[in-house]
Structures are given as structure tokens and as C-alpha cells.
Amino acid sequence: MKVRLSSLLSPRSLAPRKTTKPSFPRPPTNHSFSTTPPNPSTPPPTSNSRWLSTTKSRLGKCILFGLSRPQCHQAAQILKILSHEWRDLVAGREGFLVSPAHAGLLRHPVVWGEMDSMGHVNNVMYVRYAESARVNWAAKYAVRDREFCEEWRELATPRGVGMILKSIGVEYKFPMTYPDHISVFHKLRALPEKDSSSFVLDVLILSELHQRPAARCVEDIVVYDYRAGKKVAVRPFMMKAFEETWREQEEERKRVESRIQEVERAVVELERETWNREGAVEDLGSGT
């Protein structure tokens, strides 16, 4: 669901932009965050890995300081965007496609039995989440690519050409616990070469409760012909679909970055109108 911020957020940002430039950097995570930009006309940096929670805290500071009726309406619009578009803002900015048509797992329940004696979800479960999501990710190509529907479905079976997990790396972000739900998204790390027999997928496992990554994975996938008993090049129908996916990833990343900048400008404007202005006095309420 998309929500517009009148006067500050342009509706043009909601339309994806076309691009084929194959640049896909991982967002840096070691930059500090400041609520006051060095240049009054420039929003604060948005590379912080906890951008969503930090932005909510900044809005909370404005609200606690005291808002006029128009400012309350503006803050409500921003919070509505953060509430309805949070998966886009967290995952889409990295190029992950978060729609139901692309998601490997969406609001999948974390069950009590997945926790271990330490009281958090067992580390092995994250590999299972990634594996289940990868199978669903491939199966959803079968829905979109009707011409090669059966070929896509067979990728998860040993009947013909299939995908084999060569290796997986997991980076745990925080100890997730029951109750919670997760959403898991896959993206191509790079567009594979046409004669390559493997490709790499980045995986993002989001906690719906905390609205931030619980874990990240990197999967090295090999295309294997079970009949011939050997590795084979990525199939032409797969390459065609991957090229389209790569374009969509790039478009989504740029669209969301633009959206984030617009939200940043709106938050900075609200800060300047409340606590971050000369002579600002906090509204402590009335004693009568």
C-alpha cells in the first residue's frame, strides 16, 4: 500500500524508473546518523542499517516536543508511510523485491518449537527459512513465466535440470524469539554469465515484530543436470527471466532510495518546525 505525503512527497516517486545499469552495492552500515544535517538544504544520511527505527524515534521526539494540528497531520502521514511501506524501505532499498509475487516467505509464523534451550530461534532454522523461501522463489517464476512453467517447477526436483545448493553463509543479526513472523526475500547478487553453471543469491530474513533483519544469507547455487550427472550452464529460459529480475531489482532500489529521501526531507522539515528551530520551547501542557 502506498501513501502520499502532500506537499513534501512527490507522487512521481511511486512509479518505477527504467534502468539497466548493473550496479548493486550493499548498503554501508558503519556510518553514524545525525538528526541535524550539515547543510540546511540537505537531508541527513540514510545509509544507517536502523534507518526505520531511527526515523520513528526522530518523529517521536517531534511529537513529544509538541505539534500544532497541521504538524500532527503531517507526522501522521509520515508514520503511515513507515507503517505500510516498511518492507520496501528496509529491503527494497537493497534491491529485494518484496511483493507477494516475488517473496519467498511472507509473514511466515515463527513457532515455539523452533526455539532452543537458550530461549531464541535455533541458528539452524535460519538455513531452513532460506531454503524454503528459495524453493518458493523459483516456483513463483513458474507462475509468471507460463511458457516454461514445468521447467521452473522441476528446478526443485531431481528429475531433470535442477538447482543444488553449493554453499550457504549466514550472518545473524539478533536472537529472534517466539512469537514472531518472518518474511524472506531473495535477490540476484549479480547477473550470471550466460555460460556460467552457477549464480549467487542474497537472502534477507526480516522479523515482522521488530521490522528489521534477523539474519542475512548468501547462497551459491549450481545448475545441475540429473540425467547427465553433471553441471550445466544456466538455461536460456532462466537467463531471460534473470535479466528481467535484475532490471526490476535495479528499478526497485532506485525507486525506494528516492522514496527514502522524500521521507527524510519531510522529517527534517518537521524537525525544523518543532524542536530544531531558534527559540523553540517545548510544549509541557497546561496545568489547568
Residue 160 falls inside a structural domain: yes
Question: Residue 89, exposed/middle/buried by CB under 10 A (0-12, 13-18, 19+)?
Answer: buried
pLDDT at 283: 73
Cβ neighbours for 76, distance < 8 A, ≥ 6 positions apart: none
- Closest Cα partner for 183 from 109, 84, 85? 109
Q: What tens digit of pLDDT does each residue of 214-257 get?
A: 999 999 999 999 999 999 999 999 999 999 999 999 999 999 99
User: Dihedral through CA 257, CA 259, CA 260, CA 263, nearest 10?
Assistant: 160
Residue 15 falls inside a structural domain: no
Residue 199 falls inside a structural domain: yes
pLDDT at 19: 40
C-alpha cell of residue 87:
518492507
pLDDT at 22: 38
Residue 64 falls inside a structural domain: no
Domain with 118, as residue range(s), is 96-250
> Which residues of the chain are under the pLDDT cut of 70?
1-48, 285-288
Exposure string (b/e) for 241-279, b if CB count within 10 Å is 16 or more?
bbeebbbbbbbbbbbbbbbbebbbbbbbbbbebbbbeee
Residue 270 falls inside a structural domain: no
Domain at 102, CATH number = 3.10.129.10
Residue 38 falls inside a structural domain: no
Separation CA 128–CA 133 (nearest Å): 8
Cβ neighbours for 44, distance < 8 A, ≥ 6 positions apart: 33, 34, 35, 36, 37, 264, 268
Structural domain count, the chain? 1
Residue 280 falls inside a structural domain: no
Separation CA 181–CA 110 (nearest Å): 5
The structure's pTM equals: 0.82
pLDDT at 49: 73
Residue 122 falls inside a structural domain: yes
